[in-house]
Structure 1
Amino acid sequence: MILTVTPNPSLDRTYELPGLTRGTVLRATADRVDPGGKGVNVSRAVAAAGHRTVAVAPMGGPEGALLTRLLGDLGIEAAGVPIAGNTRINVTLVEPDGTLTKVNAAGPELSPAEAEDVLEAVRVHSSAADWIACCGSLPRGLPPQWYAELVERSHRAGARIALDTSGAALTAALDRGPDVIKPNAQELAEAVGRPLATVGDALKAAEELRGRGARSVLASLGADGQLLVEASGAYFATAPVTAVRSNVGAGDASLAGFLAAGGQGPEALASAVAHGAAAVQLAGSLMPTPADLDLPSVVTTSDVPLDRALAEPAP
């Protein structure tokens, strides 16, 4: 079972448009609403793969009630923590060429008591978990050290922690020894305070974060593939993508694939890349099922291409 923690969940509304013109009335050609937030997306991908998952998240108002119902419809056990504020709604506008315009709401502010209630919900549900995936930005009211506290408490309970966040929340948690962190190239560059132009730059940055406490680093490098740096060594993997339809939730699908495959080693990396490649070829924030995966197409190597330039360098 994979337990996910999403401190700032959302309802994600996606509208497909024939074009995006400011100052006009636009009519969508298709629309959908999905449960959202990075940890929630991990749970959705885990459930789509046929595994058990429990999603811990603060939920409030009618939006929170709808989020709980949508999670149940997907076979996800929702461990919602009641809060006074309303769960946020995020909007994504998709143009025919795949260009995405996202509007993300700030979300509710959590009180100290509500923040403690979320930590307690994690404790209650963690005993049966193979992994705890803590994902996304922190809502108003939670200090950057909140994830660090969650990592420390979970380790005391004997749980393994995967952390997917950025900025001060990531750096504050590093010295607590998260078992896996999952930055993208931009987040990796921000964490080490220097630009990344090559895969070798990304490898050095990942090694530096391991030196600061992270036990392993799963780095998403966009179209260039993914890099795994752990105690057993460094591995690099790529997969072909025919056409990108939406990259919303692709990184979350990757983390789900990684953890579902054991959370370490080249086989788990291959699963991560296969899940991410499948996700970007689906509409909105749909998560891939086993039928969408193409594991044989993933190329994994321990011969990391250090001089390979990143298609999207991280400044």
Structure 2
Amino acid sequence: MILTVTPNPSLDRTYEIPALDRGAVLRATADRIDPGGKGVNVSRAVAAAGHRTLAVMPLGGPAGAALAGLLGAEGIEVAGVPVTGHTRSNISAVEPDGTLTKINATGPELTAAEAEALLAAVGARSGGADWVACCGSLPRGLPPEWYAELVARAHRAGARIALDTSGPSLTAALRERPDVVKPNAEELAQAVGRPLATVGDAVKAAEELRAAGARAVLASLGADGQLLVDGAGAHFAGAPVATVRSNVGAGDASLAGFLVAGGTGVRALAAAVAYGAAAVQLPGSLMPAPADLVPAAVTTTDDVPLARPLTEPVNRALSSGSREDMRRP
């Protein structure tokens, strides 16, 4: 059973549009509304694969009720923690070439009592979980150390932890030694405080996260593929994608595939790539089912192409704050 934790879930409405023309009245060619939030998407992909999942999250207001209803319709068990604020709603606009413009609402501010209730809900249920996937940004009211406390409690309950977050929340949690962390290229660059231009740069950054506490790093490099860096070394995998329809939730689908396949080793890496490649070819944040996967298209190797330039290098200026956080005891 895979338990997911989404501290800041949402309702996600996606519009497919011919082009994003600022200031114009745009007419969508298609639209859909889906449950949103990184952990929520992991649960949806796990459920679509026929595995049991439990989604823990704060829920408030009509949007929270609608979110729980949508998840229930997908056969997902929800452990909602009532909060006084309202669950947020997000909007995505997707152009024909796959370009995504997303507007994320802030979400509710949780009180100290609500933050503790969310931790308690995870602790009470994580003992029966094979994996606890902690995913997404933290809402207002939760300090960066909140994920670190969650990882510590889940470990004490005997569960393995997959962590998909970024910035101070990631660096603070590393000291509790999550079993796998899943940054994308930008988040990886932010964590080490420097640009990434090649696959080799990404490998070095992943090794630094391991040195800081992560037992394994599953790094999404966009169109270039994915890296797994763990105690056995570095492995690289990729798959061709004919058409990108929407990349909303593709990283979440990848994490679900990784965990469904056991969460360790090359086999799990290949599953992560297969799930991610399938997800980007689906509309909105629709999660892939087994019929959407093409495992034969995935290639894996331990001969990592270190010199290969990243298609989308992370060259923006990065502060040293995250790097300094990683050095703290």
Q: Structure 2: which 5+ residue stretches go unaligned?
A: 316-329
- After TM superposition, the runs of 4+ consecutive aligned structure 1 residues lying more than 4 A away are none
- The aligned residue for residue 159 of structure 1 is 159
Tell me the secondary structure at the aligned position of residue 65 of structure 1. helix
Q: What is the alpha-carbon distance in structure 2 between the residues aligned to residue 124 and residue 98 of structure 1? A: 41
Deviation at 1:127, TM superposition (A): 1.8
Matches within 5 A, 1:1-315: 1-315=1-315
Identity %, equivalent residues? 76
Q: What is the alpha-carbon distance in structure 1 between the residues aligned to residue 232 and residue 168 of structure 2? A: 28
Query: How many residues are paired up?
Result: 315
Deviation at 1:88, TM superposition (A): 0.1
Q: What is the alpha-carbon distance in structure 1 between the residues aligned to residue 137 and residue 226 of structure 2? A: 22
Q: Which moved more, 1:269-278 or 1:9-18?
A: 9-18
Amino acid aligned to 2:148: A
Give yes or no for contact 2:127–2:154 (8 Å, CA) kept in 1. Answer: no
Give yes or no for contact 2:98–2:247 (8 Å, CA) kept in 1. Answer: no
Q: What is the alpha-carbon distance in structure 1 between the residues aligned to residue 197 and residue 95 of structure 2? A: 29
Normalised TM-score (structure 2): 0.94
Question: What whole-Å deviation, never above 9, does each CA across 1:258-281 have from its counterpart, x for those lacking one?
Answer: 000000000000000000000001
Give yes or no for contact 2:218–2:228 (8 Å, CA) kept in 1. Answer: yes
Q: What is the alpha-carbon distance in structure 1 between the residues aligned to residue 227 and residue 98 of structure 2? A: 25
Deviation at 1:15, TM superposition (A): 1.2
Q: What's the C-alpha RMSD, in Å, of the aligned pairs?
A: 0.8
Q: Structure 1: which 5+ residue stretches go unaligned?
A: none
Amino acid aligned to 1:151: V
Normalised TM-score (structure 1): 0.98
Q: What is the alpha-carbon distance in structure 2 between the residues aligned to residue 153 and residue 293 of structure 1? A: 35
Deviation at 1:224, TM superposition (A): 0.5
Question: What whole-Å deviation, never above 9, does each CA across 1:84-125 have from its counterpart, x for those lacking one?
Answer: 000000001122332221110000000000001111110121
Tell me the secondary structure at the aligned position of residue 176 of structure 2. coil
- The aligned residue for residue 322 of structure 2 is none
Deviation at 1:56, TM superposition (A): 0.3
Tell me the secondary structure at the aligned position of residue 273 of structure 1. helix
- The aligned residue for residue 319 of structure 2 is none
Q: Which moved more, 1:33-42 or 1:124-133?
A: 124-133
Amino acid aligned to 2:43: S
Give yes or no for contact 2:131–2:161 (8 Å, CA) kept in 1. Answer: yes
